[in-house]
A and B are shown apart, each in its own frame.
Chain A
Amino acid sequence: MKSTTPMGTVEAEQLKMNGADLLIQALKQENVEILFGYPGGAVLGIYDALHKSPMKHILARHEQGAIHAAEGYARVSGKPGVVIATSGPGATNIVTGIADAMMDSLPLVIFTGQVASQVIGTDAFQEADVVGITTPITKQNYQIKKLEDLPRIVKEAFYIATTGRPGPVLVDIPKDLTALPTPPTKQVEVNLPGYHPNVNPDPVHVKILLEALTESEKPVILAGAGVLHAKASEDLLSFAEFYQLPVVHTLLGLGGFPAQHPLFLGMAGMHGCYAANMAIYECDLLINIGARFDDRLTGNLKTFAPKAKVAHIDIDPSEIGKNVDTQIPIAGDAKAVLQMLMDQTVQEPDARLWLDHLEQYKKDYPYWYTDTEEFLSPQHLIELVNKHTNGEAIVTTDVGQHQMWAAQFYSFSQPNRWVTSGGLGTMGFGFPAAIGAQLAEPEATVVSLAGDGGFQMTLQELILLKEWNLPVKVLIINNGSLGMVRQWQETFYEKRFSHSIFSLQPDFLKLAESYGIKAYRVSNKDEAEQVFREVFSDREPVLIDCRVNPAENVYPMVAPGKGLHEMIGVKP
């Protein structure tokens, strides 16, 4: 019953408020629209408060599914993904997702329940030191000691997760605090004297970069996910076009620059394309924008860009000079720096010969594969997906061969369409991430490309497609093995396929059927073409078991310890 006067209503609400309500109120203030979680003993209070709230909550079937879905949501929407898990096993089940988000700089705010304050440290039922466990894999984490701190801590958590270099922030809440009666929040301020996320780029270094650019004969841009986080794709396009600079992407940066653009060379790195890797090897000026020179990108550091002056633009100053000697360091947001670079114009470099040279590489040594009649080749399959989705779908993957084929053969023309586990390389990431991506963009076509190994790690989330009517297209690139492990065993362990080939597989069609999802199996080009034509024209969830060539490998490849110019498996 509501009171008769408006003032009376407010007072009555205030009287009823407890710690859990305070948390929900704080989430509303952060404009949270959707939560991914799983209830349990220590978060009963929070779920009780949620019961009264209209906030959308996605009940995953495993906490790992919840956090990967939140990552997919964050990657596509640019908003923080919010996760709730209970204490002990609930919290330890999300550890992989937290580490994944930390590596790939995804904004997550995670709330974990904790046992009651009085019994913390006594090995109480479902107790785990979650703050201790997650310290090295969070941008920041908290345990709430006093309820009055909760509104400030929640505000700080969202602020830290989404500013500067984004990352996961965890807030651990003891159960007793959620039940304490409390007055509603007043206006709270963050108290972070040591946190300065807005770095002002040094105009002197920006000028030095422009001077180096003018003098350069072989410039190249290496663009990473920092471009996507900064929403700087258009700025990158203007800069590259204005000075006619070739662009190379990292794995995570794909989509930041349109794949069909004549200045785009492709992805660089271990399974990057010849033109991109050779551009880095031969260039005299390497402009890194928002990439962290990961070891899978650089190959052997001794022969990485050996003739180049290196400029590195990064919002995280600790990344600059970490792996690669940098002559022109520019700490700052990619968008801000690109705009500063465009504010003053200098003589464009005379790089016509260089561009022609790279164009020739592109023409002579594209990604390639051998087509056989006997088997469906996985590369062709990705090309078909690209064709049927016009290169506009949101594509998610795990890690491994299917991930590399997707990166090589899908033409990403827009930013934030590519959701993959890059840094941590997490199997089981892609399918739940597709669920989060579809929730972030209900109208988009979302394709979950999964390996048969990775899919079996988080397949329990299939039910969510039915439950929330999410038209995700799940394609299992089924080679009956852990393909990348098998490839390495073939190449570096004299074909001793130790535990990388599955002797038994479930019937994926029956599995999908049991979740109420229609399913197909395709094992040749014609079947794939026919099924894709059908499923990509409707808005239904579907699972397709794609039986591909089990012996196919990912090429080209830079073997471990080798330089980018020492690729094997380049198109003959």
Chain B
Amino acid sequence: MKKRMFTALVHNQNGILTRLMGIFTKHQYQIESLAVAVYPELKEVSKMSVVLEVEDDHRFLQLLKQVNKQIDVLYVSDSPDDHAINRELVYIKKLLI
């Protein structure tokens, strides 16, 4: 098991979060952390960062492709970099506390 984070830029349309979360459920992934925020410079677009535990790279790739395929997803990137993921998690924790 290793942590992976991916980031998606999404077109802010009704139900996009539900649609993407449904894909995680369908692919049997549990989300460790989820952060979504509207881009201040571009109100139509939100950035979504998701951290999850990944066992199988092939299955994870299928998940990314399914997310990328959604009509309102503009861009998806993923990061296997532990450092970046931990930084993101610390940042989210700070926001929560």
Contacts and interface: CB of A to CB of B under 8 A. Distances in A.
Contacts of A40: none
Closest 3 CB pairs of A and B: A318-B65, A194-B74, A140-B71
Given A131-B15, A142-B14, A193-B11, A318 B66 contact: yes
A142 B6 CA distance: 26
A317 B69 CA distance: 8
Which label, helix, strand, loop or mixed, suits the secondary structure of the A interface?
A: mixed
A193 B22 contact: no
Contact of A135 (B19, B61, B68): B19
Interface string B1-35: 00000000011011100110011001000000000
A468 interface: no
B38 interface: no
Given A192-B71, A193-B11, A135 B18 contact: yes
Interface in B47-97: 61-62, 65-66, 68-74
A292 interface: no
A195 B69 CA distance: 8
A330 interface: no
26 contacts: A132-B18, A135-B15, A135-B18, A136-B19, A136-B22, A136-B23, A136-B26, A141-B15, A142-B13, A192-B11, A192-B71, A193-B74, A194-B11, A194-B71, A194-B72, A194-B73, A194-B74, A195-B71, A316-B69, A317-B65, A318-B62, A318-B65, A318-B66, A318-B68, A321-B61, A322-B62
Contacts of B71: 139-140, 160, 192, 194-195
A158 to B, nearest CB: 13
Given A192-B71, A195-B71, A318-B65, A143 B22 contact: no
Interface residues of B, number: 22
Contacts of B62: 318, 322
A327 to B, nearest CB: 15
Nearest to B75: A194
Contacts of B15: 131-132, 135, 141, 143
A192 B16 CA distance: 13
A302 to B, nearest CB: 15
Given A135-B22, A136-B22, A143 B14 contact: yes
A132 B16 CA distance: 11
B68 A131 contact: no
Interface in A195-239: 195
A206 B5 CA distance: 33
Interface in A268-321: 316-318, 321
Contacts of B66: 318
Count chain B CB atoms within 10 A of each CB in A143, A317, A318, A322 and give the residue with the most. Answer: A318
Interface residues of A, number: 20
A145 interface: yes
A194 B67 CA distance: 11
Contacts of B72: 140, 194
Count chain A CB atoms within 10 A of each CB in B10, B19, B22, B23 and give the residue with the most. Answer: B19
A105 B94 CA distance: 45
Given A131-B14, A135-B22, A145-B14, A318 B69 contact: yes
Contact of B70 (A145, A193, A194, A317): A194
B84 to A, nearest CB: 24
Contacts of A135: 15, 18-19, 22
Contacts of B26: 136
A194 B46 CA distance: 12
A422 B71 CA distance: 25
A136 B66 CA distance: 11
Given A140-B71, A160-B71, 14 more contacts: A132-B15, A136-B19, A136-B26, A140-B72, A141-B15, A143-B14, A193-B44, A193-B74, A194-B10, A194-B73, A317-B69, A318-B65, A318-B68, A322-B62
Contacts of B13: 142
Contacts of B11: 192-194
Interface in A129-159: 131-132, 135-136, 139-143, 145
Contacts of A139: 71
Contacts of A316: 69
Contacts of A193: 11, 44, 74
Nearest to B69: A318
A216 to B, nearest CB: 26
B24 to A, nearest CB: 11
Contacts of B73: 194
A305 B61 CA distance: 23
A144 to B, nearest CB: 9
Contacts of B18: 132, 135
A194 B15 CA distance: 15
Nearest to B21: A135
A136 B15 CA distance: 11
A139 B72 CA distance: 11
Contacts of A318: 62, 65-66, 68-69
A195 B11 CA distance: 10
Interface string A113-136: 000000000000000000110011
A143 B15 CA distance: 9
A142 B65 CA distance: 22
A157 B63 CA distance: 25
B9 to A, nearest CB: 8
B73 to A, nearest CB: 5
B23 to A, nearest CB: 8
Interface string A140-184: 111101000000000000001000000000000000000000000
A98 B18 CA distance: 18
B18 to A, nearest CB: 6
A476 to B, nearest CB: 36
A372 B65 CA distance: 52
Contacts of A317: 65, 69
